[in-house]
Structure 1
Amino acid sequence: MPPPLTSVSAGTTTPLPRPPAAVSSAASPSRRQLLLLSTFPLLLIPPTTSTAAASAPAAAYDPTTESERAASAALSLRVGEAVRLLDLGRDLQARGDFPSALASFTAVVRGYKDLALSEYARVGRALVLYEIGDRDESIAEMEDVSVALKGYPEIHAALAAALYADKHAPLLAENQFAIATLLDPHYTDLAYVRDTKHWPPSLVSSLRNFITLS
């Protein structure tokens, strides 16, 4: 231990008092620490909730039931099959295989009548019937579909051609053709209905007679 400090004054030596021993901050808390502890005691209490558990994502919620999912899957399969038959009918019609096209369109109309796309199969069926079937049945189908699909230009144009050529009703034909061409002017072009819409030859001929008033 070092010797005590001394002060020299007037030839005498007087021991100086020792400084007080420093209080270790590790041994006892300071006044500031005691004040914080008494004021905010919860600040020093460690959390008991696991942060991993708190941040765990909630389980995925699916509002649909098993039966609803099964019904949706079954409906998707039916729609897919109906679309396949409709596309097949149009492809067969484009290739001139009108009996097979009629079979495909009829399968959609009879087997999937609850689906909206069955109305478009009725359009194809009416056009093909005009070529190979009973024209009266074809025109009746056209008239019915023209109401169900009012504003669908193809059925109005086809009905105009049939009414003029087969029913000798030029005024009704003009009304139907006005609707069709207002919505789609392409129906004044015989090449369009023949090469793009793939109408049967007899219906193209009836439209030609109507347009030329022959």
Structure 2
Amino acid sequence: MTAEAERLRATVARAPWFSRATLDPASLRPLDELRAGPTTVTWATVEGARDRTAVLVLAEDDAALLAAALALTARPAWTTAQGGTVRWHGPPLTDARPGPQLTATATNAVARVTAGRPPAEEDLVLKVYRVLGDGRGEVALLGRLGGRAAPLPEAVGHLEYVAPGGRPRGCLALLTRTAPGVPLDVPLRAALHAHWSADPADRRRPAPVDP
């Protein structure tokens, strides 16, 4: 086992987003890599229950992973170390700057992005999928619903990884414009906080039923 493979296994085993119940970190095998700016993005296979094999997208940390993905939006295609390809399906973003990271679900790394310069700046959101292919349904859904009168984010583009020989392949990251409104987790968290901050006697009372 190489030192790099051992380091990746140790990193994944400690990661709070990694599902040890369904995936075995000891089975991790590096598949491919690509240098993007100062960061090396690594694709690695990992085996799990019911003969499942997942391809993880790894970097030193979330900030490095997000910065690398943003750098890959500067041109249409990049060649990986093993002869695979990362394709950017969108307009070249040569003047985009990463912003603060956002709280996200375990299998995504998410950050705000500013593209362009004043007065034509755009506020975007970059989502990187730690499990290759997790975003394909989201990309397809936004494509079908694009242009409708709904508070949905508009897709700017997405990154796709294609391994040598064409398999595996899948969505690596999604870049969208911000959408108006409040994320669902905000009122849910507020309600939970109010519930558990209340007097214990109040928590035992049944919630009122809407007429």
TM range (shorter): under 0.3
TM-score, length-scaled by structure 1: 0.24
Q: Which has the higher helix share?
A: 1
Q: Which has the higher strand share?
A: 2
Greater relative contact order (Cα 8 A, min sep 6): structure 1 or 2?
2
TM-score, length-scaled by structure 2: 0.24
